[in-house]
Amino acid sequence: MSSGSRRSSGACLRCCLVVFAVVSALYVSGPALYWRFNKGRIVLGDNGNSCPPCICDCPPPLSLIKIAPGLVNLSVSDCGKNDPDLNKEMEKQFVDLLTEELKLQEMVAEEHSHHMNVTYAEARRVASQYQKEAEKCNAATETCEEARERSQVLLIKERKVTSLWERRAHQLGWEG
Q: What is the DSSP string of 117-170?
A: HHHHHHHHHHHHHHHHHHHHHHHHHHHHHHHHHHHHHHHHHHHHHHHHHHHHHH
Indicate if the pLDDT at residue 74 is higher than 60. Answer: no
* pLDDT per position as a tens digit, 12-64: 888 899 999 999 988 888 888 887 777 766 555 545 556 667 777 777 776 66
Is 135 contained in some domain? Answer: yes
Is 158 contained in some domain? Answer: yes
pLDDT of residue 96: 83
The closest of 30, 52, 32, 50 to 42, measured between CA atoms, is 50
Is 76 contained in some domain? Answer: no
Instruction: Collect all residues with Cβ–Cβ distance below 8 Å to 176 and sequence separation of at least 6.
Output: 169
In which domain, by residue range, is 24 found? Answer: 13-44
Indicate if the pLDDT at residue 163 is higher than 60. Answer: yes
Structurally, the chain folds into a number of domains equal to 2
Q: What is the pTM of this model?
A: 0.34
